[in-house]
Amino acid sequence: MEQVIPLRLSVLGHPQRLAVFRLLMRRFPDRVPAGEISTALDVKPSTLSSYLSALMQAGLVTQTREGTWLYYQVDMGGMRETLDALMRDCCRGRPELCLPSTSPLPEPDKATMPSRPYNVLFICTGNSARSIIAECLLRSVGGGRFDVYSAGTLPSSRLNPFALEVLRSKGHDLSGLRAKNLGEFMGADAPRFDFVFTVCDQAANEECPTWEGQPISGHWGMPDPVKTEGTEAERSLAFQQAYGTLKNRILAFAALPLAELDRISLQNAVDDIARNH
């Protein structure tokens, strides 16, 4: 272990290798294909291969093969070992010295959520379909426990008509819905978010802001119904399926005993929803 930790720190000291690792951390627990990483970071496949090889040799990333496709995922065991070693050896077990000044000390035996309504933000690229559907769903099923928002990294000029029709047919209130830029939620007057979810892979692959208060984050990636081709009926079906997937996830999220769970348990529960729904 004494030799492994310097190797891992050296590997992560390379800016491009660190960028690969950060992308995989944002996508965890997903397994991400190499081609998607290459496209997201604008890195040549041959160069990316060397970065991934170094990360795997350091025990920070794992590789799996399905047919001709290679998928990569953060090795959370190796990551935790690294953080534990830094806390023991560098911080001498004194988290009050090493944690960021804006971060509260972890309280594993206490619920960390506020007594006010929970602020939840859903992010995708265009904020015209999936994140808008998620916003409406949680607002509908949350029973007043959530203040819900959505935004896009590159928002569309208008909401997708198929998404609006699905929401209208399900009885959702469409008043006030609009595509919003993520920047609207980054100012001093922005809500302090408790949960931030990305619902498309492209948004999750992008660098996101560091949110004040360190909200629980989750990636609930799913196919983009906007990209569906075919007849109007086939396109409408894609939006119905997206609505159903998001409804299952949001019902599971809204059913969590949020006030009773500590931060680690909440994060695990949010990740499990992405795996199981």
Residue of 90, 91, 98, 208 with catalytic role: 208
235 touches 228 (CB < 8 A): yes
Determine whether 200 is an active site residue: yes
Residue of 91, 98, 124, 136 with catalytic role: 124
In angstroms, the Cα distances linking 127 to 86, 87, 178, 231, 245 are: 39, 40, 8, 23, 17
Determine whether 98 is an active site residue: no
Determine whether 90 is an active site residue: no
Q: Which residues pair with 108 in a beta bridge?
A: none
Q: To the nearest 10°, report the CA torsion of 18, 19, 21, 24.
A: 170
- Cis peptide preceding 223, ω within 30 of 0: no
Cβ neighbours of residue 119 closer than 8 Å, sequence gap 6 or more: 146, 147, 149, 191, 192, 193, 194, 195, 215
Q: To the nearest 10°, report the CA torsion of 108, 21, 123, 184.
A: 90
Active site residues: 124, 200, 208
